[in-house]
Structure formats: structure tokens, C-alpha cells
Structure 1
Amino acid sequence: MGRVSQAQAEENRRRVVETASRLFREQGTHVSVADLMKAAGLTHGGFYKQFASKEALIDEATAHAFAGLTRLREEGLDRHAGQRDAAQQELIDIYLSTEHRDSTADGCPAAALAADMTRGPADREARRIYAEGVRDFADWLTTEDQDGIARLCTMLGALLLARATKGSQLSEEILTAGRAVLTATG
């Protein structure tokens, strides 16, 4: 089999990063390179042509996931003509929905990757990327009346509890209560 073009190599790398971003959020960063490459439709041997290590891919996939969250916020601002309060409320409604609860692979990286970030050395690049993403998200959630970190903690806690109790009435109650608390002012 011949060499792939530079454009094809870039497309393969993009596909691996996107696949890793989804799989890591859905299953955790312990997913094997072989399983990841299979899910991306590529060979295991091709991995090391693209990435120095699995840690390097975790770093890139984490950044990719947080970039998606940033795009979601920007799209909300565009839909609401720059009105941040309306965009924040829309995001809260989406975040604490049954659809988001049920779609971990495409969901919030702050919630999905939290447990994985606690493992391994504190100086991991992925942990730094994660912390920056969380800080950026919290800053975006800040209002005149509410602290962004507190709002984010409420959102993450509600989402994680709703996911853990999925299939029960309690899960729906948690999502509803989270939305109600975040809608209140003062």
C-alpha cells in the first residue's frame, strides 16, 4: 500500500482526534489505542505516525472537546444577537436536558472527563487544558448576580447525578431542580 497524501494524513489525524474526543468522554481515557483506531476506521500502526504517544492524543482530544464547548457558546450568542443572559439560559436548558444527559460522547468535557483528570500526575498537559476549559466556561457563566464557578458546579453536579440515576424519576427531578436553581437570580 502506498503512502497517503499530506491532505489525507491531516484528515486521518482529524478523524482520530474527533473519535478520541467522543470515546474519551463516553468511556474514559483508558480506551486502548487499538480500539480507538478501529473506531476511527484506521489501522493501529497508523497511530504512531500521527501522535508521539497516547498522552499526546489525550491532550489534543481534551482541547478539541473544550473547543467544541466554546463553539456551542458562541453559536448561542449569535442566535441571541449577543444577549449573553439569553444565550446562558439557552445553554443551561440544553446542558440540563435529558438529551445531554443521555449523550455523554457528545456532551460536556468538564463533566465527562473530570474523573480521568484526577488520575495521573498533576502536571499533565491534559489537566492544564482541562483546568483552562473549566475556568473559561465558569467565566462565561458569570452574571451580575451569580458566580460562574458556583453556577458551573451546580450544572456539573446536576448532570452527573442525573446521569448516575438515569432511568429513574429522580434523574428527571435533578435536571428540573438544577434548571430552577440556575434560573433564579440573586
Structure 2
Amino acid sequence: MPRITKEDKARNRQNILEAAGRMFRSQGIDAVGIAELMKEAGLTHGGFYNHFASKNDLVVEVCGASFAASLGVLAQEIEDGPDRHGSPLTRVVAGYLSTAHRDAPDGGCPSASLVTDAGRHSEAVQSAYAVGVEGYLAGFAAEFVREAEQEGRTLTPDEARRKAMRLLSEMVGALTLARAVRHVEPELSEEILRAGHRQALD
């Protein structure tokens, strides 16, 4: 039997991470077993422990990687600056509270899809989630300060952080509620998204 190369091992590990990211978001962490996960990744059950010491270690890494990807999108929007669609934060809110994001719970930002699971799991998982939250708060607060300066206003760091907390809380809350009722009350779900979109940056 041929030996697996470093490249193959790295690719297999990435396949596990990607499959876990999709499944944890859409089904919940506890609902996903290792055998089911490895099947989704196209690998054998026994191979899991060649890559991760435990499921908890995998969850921590998935949480960190998922937030890193979402924060990368936020950073790019801020770097791009205002355009015909509005300010960077206007675009971020529009994308986050979109029907497409609502209907793709296996992708997108983990802030809403893992919000309940994070609180039920280990301190390491909670810490990874907290790092992601802090990343959003820092990005939002910095953009609020920049916008205020551009408009000739003064916004203190504390004020900017409070605004950032409110924005993130409203976004996560609206998306979570919209997803919870979308199958049985689609009109209510859309109403929640629209209201969240309107209120977020008021």
C-alpha cells in the first residue's frame, strides 16, 4: 500500500475541516458524529485521529477558521471603502441579512450558525468563538470611528465599541430569528430580515 504524502495528508485534513464547517453550521456540533463527518469528507472513520486529537480540537479549529474567513470578507469590504452601494458597513449588513445568507446555514458567518453551540461546549470552543466576536467588534468600531472622522464628528473608542456591539447583536439576532421561522413562516422571516436591515445602521 503506497505511503500517503505530506500533500495528501494536508489535503485530507483540509477536507475534514471543510466538511466539519458545513455540517456543524447546518446540523449543530453535537448532531455530527465522527463517522458521518469522515464519510462526508470522503475518508475512513479511523483516519480522523491522524489529524485531530479529539472532536473538541476539531471544533476549535473549525470555529477559528470560519471566523477568520468571515473577518477576511469584512476587512476587504472596509479596504474597498464606499461605493455606489453605500458604505462598507452598509454592504456588510446587506450581505449578512440577505435571503441568500439566511438560506445557506452551512456556509457564511459562524456568528449566528454556531452561537448556541459555542455556549454549550468547552472553554476552548467558547474562546475561539469569543476571538471571532472580538474581531467583528474591532472591525466595526474602527469603521465607525473612520466614518465619524470623515464627517467631522468625534467618536470615542468606548462609543464606537458600544455601537459595534449593538450592530453585531442586531445582525446575529435578526439572522437567527429569520432562520428559525423561514420554513413555517417565510413572510415573517423576510420581515425580520428587512427590519433588521433597516434598523442595524440607524
TM-score (norm 1): 0.90
CA distance in 2, matches of 1:46, 1:120: 24
What is the deviation of 1:118? 1.6
Q: For residue 17 of structure 2, what is the aligned residue in structure 1?
A: 17
Taking the TM superposition and a 5 Å limit, the aligned residue runs for 1:6-85 are 6-30=6-30, 31-80=32-81
Residues 1:94 and 2:112 are matched in the alignment:
no
CA–CA separation in structure 2 for the residues paired with 1:108 and 1:38: 24
Gaps in structure 2 of 5+ consecutive residues: 146-154
- CA distance in 2 between partners of 1:78 and 1:43 (Å): 42
Q: Which amino acid aligns with 2:189?
A: S
Q: Structure 2 counterpart of 1:33, which letter?
A: I
Q: Following TM superposition, where does structure 1 have runs of at least 4 consecutive aligned residues deviating by more than 6 angstroms?
A: none
The worse-fitting range, judged by mean Cα deviation, of 32-41 and 137-146 is: 137-146
User: What is the CA–CA distance in structure 2 between the aligned matches of 1:57 and 1:17, rounded to whole Å?
Assistant: 7
Map of 1:125 onto structure 2: 124
- The root-mean-square deviation of aligned C-alpha atoms, in Å, is 1.8
2:197 to 158, 161, 179: 179
Greater Rg by CA: 2
How much identity, in percent, do the aligned residues show? 38
The aligned counterpart of 2:150 is none
1:81 is displaced (CA, Å) by 7.0
TM-aligned CA deviation for residue 58 of structure 1: 0.6
Q: How many residues align?
A: 180
Cα deviation, 1:12-34, whole Å, max 9, x if unaligned, reads 11111111111111111120001
Per-residue CA deviations over 1:67-94 (Å, capped at 9, x if unaligned) read 1111211232344379xx7211111000
Q: Choose from 153, 162, 165 the match for 2:169.
A: 153
Letter in 1 for 2:51: Q
